[in-house]
Structure 1
Amino acid sequence: MTKYTFDLLDFVFTELPVVYIFYGNYFILRKFLSTKKYALLVAGELFVFFSAAFLYFAFGTLIRPFEPPGTVPPYVFSELLLDTLWVYLIYGFFSFGYYFGMESVSNEKRLRIMEQEKARIEADRLKSEYAFLRAQINPHFLHNTLNLFYAKSIMVSEELSEGILTLCEIMRYSMATGEADVDTVPLSREIEHVQNVIKINQLRFSNRLQVIFDISGDMSDIRIIPLVIITLVENAFKHGELNNDQHPLVMQLKVSEEDGTIYFSTHNRKKRGPKELSNGIGMDNIKRRLDATYKNNYSLTTTDEADNYTASLWITVS
């Protein structure tokens, strides 16, 4: 074997333990120093040190056969440990600095992400406050204006005045449940709201809409979170084909007095032709509200077929 080949082997076998010390120490620091597991940190450092000493011994044993006879002094264990300790201290120091440098970079990234998230939350808060302000101004103004129109329309058209009055009732209910911190409302009020929405839509389309609303059970002592059932109804009005008397919009509300369960469903023929754009926010919103209020005591399922759409809601309120 040539001298150059031996020098190359000597370099490789000498540097491999150095690489092991550097990255082994870095791994131990990341694993245990960041989590403040100091006993495991000390044990890990000792393991890296003694395993590095073993590597030096093993690699030195592999190189010895290639050296000229009589040129290699015998191994002295204490000297091997001292040499390993010296290399360990040097490259352990480098590894220590590398660890804290990487941690500093990671902390800076985390702080930047937190600042961006804080700025986003603040922007969302400002948007919400602005939207809330608009909601406070516009509905009140519109509601008062509708009252004025209702008063002036009584002598002009009974149908017109009835429509304006119904729209006022719809707005009054929506504003009352939106402005106040209302957790639940009587189920009868929610159903009255649904009936007003049906009524106003019938007026819009000259009473041509085919709608069946079947109600059964005692609602007198039942309360429900507001504007959930109406969302399902509005979804059916928006996407349903309601002019076909063979396929009417069928809505059912049943209240079970035995177990306090409310069942509500809508079934409609899907509208033909171009579809209205929908982002699904309404359905996602009521799912979140139902989750927050009723936990495992509710079920909301939808069946989306080629021609028909069905939504079914069960809520156990007692």
Structure 2
Amino acid sequence: MLQTIKKQWKQILIILTLYTVWNITVFLFLIRLQGLEITMKQFGTGAEFYLNFVHTIIKGTIVYYILIYHLVIPLIRSRNWKTIIPQCLFLFVILTAYEYLWNFAIIKPDPKSVNYVSPKTFFITAAVLDSIIILISYFVATLITSNEMRKHKEELEKEKLRAELAAIKYQINPHFLFNSLSLIYTKTLKSSPEAAHAVHLLSEIMSYALDDWGEMGTVPLALEVEHMKKVIEMNQIRFSNTLKIKYYEDVQANDAVIPVLAFVTLVENAFKHGDLNDEKNQVSIELIATKSKICFLVCNKKKTGPKEPSKGIGLNNVQQRLELMYGIKHTFKIKEDENYYLNEIIINL
């Protein structure tokens, strides 16, 4: 929360600085072009000048901040024209009404003054200026979004390099591993079908984890769910089918993609740190996927006694990859108290 507030203030300060510099530059240019006396007549003198200048800076900063960061950038990212275009129109209706009150109710210009602008001319000028403001905001928002995408791609590359380095550092030769598992599967198939099935599951889970899923490291949702169920089944076999697990699934968007092992990691953490034998507080795994949203929740009661050592690497990795892939289009909630632990991922498609 604090990080978000700091980021917003930074954005406001940047716009405030740039807009102030721009207005000062325009003012100095007008002085050079038409002279100080004519320019001061247009902007006012003394307290009136400072009031107009400060009002213009504050108003412009607020308008550009809302337009760029809360309307145009979300529009570029989501392409949700039906929602954002009415919001833009509403903003400019409010802005025009405010400007009208400021100019004709607060300032109350003299109709005989050289600088007097009639209401008709005011509305025409306001419409033209609003169009220019929109174009400027869209241009700036495009630059910001392009820069974010470039940084996003660089971060993905760094993450990929780090992942490759970790794989090189810790991996067992996959061919040796899978050949060994295949041998064990063959040897145990007749004597212990359940053990053979467990070996087969382990082989498929490890193959899924070690496979190359491309630059983005994403997989179809259906494939992640399939292997998540294999992890659940593998753990049930380990504990002789005594684990207390409540699983709910409602998937309507099988064509969605997610970071590989994102859901599997959260499920594994629940098995590692959760109380798996409490009938009243079962491990709860819930997945709801529509065409517009994916909601995944894992909740478990904490087990008592000695805790297994954990550095939180898997959880941090999931957080980083979700942030890189979805940014503001996702939320990752972690809730914890003395007895319970909950992870919730929401992805807006």
Q: CA deviation at 1:140?
A: 2.7
Q: CA deviation at 1:289?
A: 0.8
Q: Which residue of 2 aligns with 1:217?
A: 251
CA contact (8 A) 2:334 2:343 kept: yes
CA distance in 1 between counterparts of 2:278 and 2:252 reads 31
CA distance in 2 between counterparts of 1:202 and 1:241 reads 14
CA distance in 1 between counterparts of 2:290 and 2:278 reads 31
Q: Which residue of 1 aligns with 2:344?
A: 312
CA distance in 2 between counterparts of 1:287 and 1:130 reads 19
CA distance in 2 between counterparts of 1:231 and 1:287 reads 11
Q: Which residue of 2 aligns with 1:274?
A: 306
Q: Which residue of 2 aligns with 1:284?
A: 316
Q: Secondary structure at the match of 2:316?
A: helix
CA contact (8 A) 1:177 1:226 kept: no
Q: CA deviation at 1:176?
A: 1.3
Indicate which of 256, 274, 290 corresponds to 1:256. 290
TM-score, structure 1 as length reference: 0.56
**Residues 77-116 of structure 1 mapped to structure 2, 5 A cutoff:** none
Q: CA deviation at 1:184?
A: 1.7
Indicate which of 267, 272, 279 corresponds to 1:233. 267
Q: Secondary structure at the match of 1:190?
A: helix
Q: Secondary structure at the match of 2:240?
A: coil
Indicate which of 280, 297, 314 corresponds to 1:265. 297
Paired letter, 2:343 = A
Indicate which of 194, 200, 210 corresponds to 1:175. 210
**Residues 54-203 of structure 1 mapped to structure 2, 5 A cutoff:** 131-133=166-168, 137-177=172-212, 180-181=214-215, 183-203=217-237
CA distance in 2 between counterparts of 1:232 and 1:271 reads 16
Q: CA deviation at 1:190?
A: 0.3
Q: 1:177 to 1:246 in 2, by over 3 A?
A: farther
- RMSD, aligned α-carbons: 2.3
CA distance in 1 between counterparts of 2:192 and 2:343 reads 37
Q: CA deviation at 1:268?
A: 0.8
CA distance in 1 between counterparts of 2:329 and 2:163 reads 30
CA distance in 2 between counterparts of 1:129 and 1:165 reads 26
CA distance in 1 between counterparts of 2:168 and 2:241 reads 36
Q: Secondary structure at the match of 1:254?
A: strand
TM-score, structure 2 as length reference: 0.51
CA distance in 1 between counterparts of 2:252 and 2:326 reads 21
CA distance in 1 between counterparts of 2:236 and 2:259 reads 26
CA contact (8 A) 2:253 2:290 kept: no
Paired letter, 2:299 = H
CA distance in 2 between counterparts of 1:193 and 1:218 reads 18
Q: Secondary structure at the match of 2:173?
A: helix
Paired letter, 1:148 = L
CA distance in 2 between counterparts of 1:294 and 1:137 reads 32
CA distance in 1 between counterparts of 2:256 and 2:163 reads 32
CA distance in 1 between counterparts of 2:165 and 2:328 reads 35
- Any gaps of 5 or more consecutive residues in structure 1? 1-125
CA distance in 2 between counterparts of 1:208 and 1:283 reads 26
Q: Deviations over 1:187-226 (max 9, x none)?
A: 0110111111111111111111111111003132111111
Q: Which residue of 2 aligns with 1:206?
A: 240
CA contact (8 A) 2:288 2:295 kept: yes
CA contact (8 A) 2:335 2:341 kept: yes
Q: Which residue of 1 aligns with 2:332?
A: 300
Q: Deviations over 1:73-124 (max 9, x none)?
A: xxxxxxxxxxxxxxxxxxxxxxxxxxxxxxxxxxxxxxxxxxxxxxxxxxxx
Question: Hey, which bits of structure 1, 4+ residues long, moved more than 2 A?
Answer: 126-140, 180-183
CA contact (8 A) 2:248 2:285 kept: yes
Q: Which residue of 2 aligns with 1:247?
A: 281
Q: Secondary structure at the match of 1:215?
A: strand
Q: CA deviation at 1:183?
A: 3.2
Q: 1:163 to 1:185 in 2, by over 3 A?
A: same
Q: CA deviation at 1:144?
A: 1.4
Q: CA deviation at 1:152?
A: 1.6
- Computing the radius of gyration from Cα coordinates, the structure with the larger value is 1
Q: 1:139 to 1:242 in 2, by over 3 A?
A: same
Paired letter, 2:274 = G
When the two structures are aligned, how many residues end up with a matched partner?
A: 190
